Amino acid sequence: MKIKKVLLSAGVHGNEKTPIFLLKKFQKNSIPITRSNFKTEILIANPQAVKLHQRYLDVDLNRCFSSEKLDKPHPVKYEEIQAQAINRRVQESQIDLILDFHTTTSSNMGITLLLSNDHPFNLKLAAYLAEHNDLVRIVLNAEQKQNNRLRHLIPLGMTVEIGGIAPNVVDPVWVERLEYLVQQILEYLEQINQDRPPVTPKIITLYSLQEPVYFPTDDQGEIVAMVHPNLHGSDYSVLNPDEPMFIDLDGNNIYYSGETANILFVSESAYFEKQIAFYLATKKKISIE
């Protein structure tokens, strides 16, 4: 398989400034992302939201890429119009691979690769990156419930979440880490295109994303508890049954009653409006061809 065109995307959420800064740097000087055997394109996906330092204007852009929304005849919301325009560009430019960069406020997410699907190409690229970059972890939503994300426009690609980084902060350490990751990805692709694919591990560890855990709410739908201090800042750690996961306004612990799982995106600020406290994931080892 050859890759001819790669899309580097940032600013799907306008307040995630660190990857936007890196891609603007590449727009100014494209030498670091220029390779002999494939092309790279840059997308700042939600320019109005970037200008206003907001996550979005009307609706979350990264929930607008479902086929239903892309086929909507007369979209009115800014992000729905923008999603259709991005889809047209991806199809017309014949993009082979989407790398969509985001930041998360959850403190210990490192570099989290959210794969579009379990296509062997995606798994091998992720395996290579996990092998060569200690910050990388691999997440797959096996049930494909998130198929309204930008990464789902084509089969090959991933969302890359880095952090924790606060909204609207350009974190220089993370700019450098992300630039290093981009170089690792481009080098990998260059070798694939030269028919000398790098050796990748045959067994990888991945986190299979499950349902979110919602904050407890009162009759008016107001959140009435906070994440337990044991969990806050502990992304990827293990949550066992009967361990406390929230403390309510009266100071009482609320205990977890599900099966043992890993926790991700703990206290992510952008999920607060969705009343999501964190996600559960199951850690697995899988073998790849």
* Residue 21: CB minimum distance to Zn ion, A: 15
Q: Return d(Cα 213, Cα 276) in angstroms, integer.
A: 6
Note whether 149 binds Zn ion by CB under 5 A: no
Phi-psi sector, 205: left (phi>0), alpha (psi -120 to 50), beta: beta
| CA–CA dist 85, 270 (Å, integer) | 24
Q: Which residue lies nearer to Zn ion by CB, 20 or 239?
A: 20
The answer to whether residues 166 and 105 touch, using CB atoms and an 8 Å cutoff, is: yes
* Count of residues that interact with Zn ion, criterion CB under 5 A: 3
Q: Which is nearer to Zn ion, 4 or 51 (CB)?
A: 51
Looking from the CA of 242 toward its CB, the CA atoms found within 13 Å total 0
Looking at 5-13, 67-75, 127-135, 231-239, which segment touches Zn ion (CB under 5 A)? Answer: 5-13
Backbone angles phi, psi at 60, to 5 degrees: -65, 115
Q: Is 102 in the site for Zn ion (CB under 5 A)?
A: yes
Binding-residue pattern over the window 194 to 213 for Zn ion, x denoting contact by CB under 5 A = --------------------
In the three-class reduction of DSSP (H, G, I as helix; E, B as strand; rest coil), residue 92 is classed as: helix
CB of 255 vs Zn ion, minimal distance in Å: 31
Considering the rule CB under 5 A, would residue 151 count as an interface residue with Zn ion?
no
Per-residue string for binding with Zn ion, 56-95, x by CB under 5 A? ----------------------------------------
Q: CB-wise, 97 or 165, nearer to Zn ion?
A: 165
Backbone φ and ψ for 226, nearest 5 degrees, come out as -115, 160
- Comparing C-alpha atoms, which of 189, 177, 208, 32 is closest to residue 125? 189
Cα 47 to Cα 13: distance, rounded to the nearest angstrom? 9
CB of 6 to Zn ion, least distance (A): 19
Nearer to Zn ion, 39 or 63 (CB): 63
Instruction: Report in angstroms how near the CB of residue 56 gets to Zn ion at its nearest.
Output: 10
User: Is the Cβ of residue 102 or residue 228 nearer to Zn ion in the bound state?
Assistant: 102
Site for Zn ion in 11-30 (CB under 5 A): 13, 16
Q: In this chain, which residue has its C-beta nearest to Zn ion?
A: 102
Residue 53's region, left for phi above 0, alpha for psi from -120 to 50, else beta, is left
Q: Identify residue 127 by its one-letter amino acid code.
A: A
- Which residues make up the interface to Zn ion (CB under 5 A)? 13, 16, 102
